[in-house]
Amino acid sequence: MTHTATTWLRTFAAAVLAAEPDLTALDQATGDGDFGANMAGALRLVQSDLDSLPPGAADGEVIAVAARVFLDKVGGTSGPLFGLLFQELAAAAGDGLTSDALATGAAKGLAAIQRVGEAEVGDKTLVDALSPAVDALRGCPDDLASAFAAAASAAESGAESTAGIRARRGRASYVGDHAVGVSDPGAVAVGLLFRAGA
């Protein structure tokens, strides 16, 4: 079972490391420009922590590695908010990451992120990608890869929609119209997260 979660997280890490310049460019247009570097730094730590995990670790333990890194080791606020998502995904996955566990964990992660950040859909944050992904996962097909694919498509559309929004929350809210036309990098990263499992 270890295979499922480790493959997912390693694919996500590779995708974020490849996309780091793009994420940085998006964040420079909307925030303080540290998002790409924070995410890349976190995922390098996740990669090395996964290397030292005992073989046969349950999916929940694997995802908990990512939760700890994102919560404990990443500055700013977006990284630790991803940590809350991983914390709920890890609890839901337990012994094995199933499509049901993905749906439950993503929904609880979204709820936690919204309790903390008070962001709604339309505020130009990662919630714009995560919320439609949670909707897509509700009543999703049984097989995990299809569930990931459905969530990824919904998250990617949500991330694209943030380009047309003037930010009301987060650091992008301070730059007003300058951020219109630019996607929220956190929302883009949520798309990468689900696409990595598809």
Site for another protein, rule CB under 8 A: 71-72, 75, 77, 80-81, 83-84, 87, 91, 112, 115-118, 168
3-state secondary structure of 73: coil
Closest contact distance (angstroms) between CB of 183 and another protein is: 21
Least distance in angstroms from the C-beta of 84 to another protein: 6
Nearer to another protein, 64 or 150 (CB): 64
Rounded-to-integer distance, Cα 56 and Cα 184, Å = 37
Reading phi first (left if > 0) and then psi (alpha if -120 to 50, else beta), residue 94 is in: left
Q: With respect to another protein, which residue has the nearer C-beta, 8 or 82?
A: 82
Mark 69-93 as b/e (b = at least 16 C-beta within 10 Å).
Answer: bbbebbebebbbbbbbbbbbbbbbb
Smaller CB separation from another protein, 134 or 147 = 134
Instruction: Report the nearest approach of another protein to the CB of residue 67 (Å).
Output: 9
How big is the chain, counted in residues? 198
Q: Which of 132, 102, 127, 58 is nearest to 197 (CA)?
A: 102
* Shortest CB 77 distance to another protein, Å: 5
Q: In this complex, which beta carbon is closest to another protein, that of residue 49 or of residue 160?
A: 49
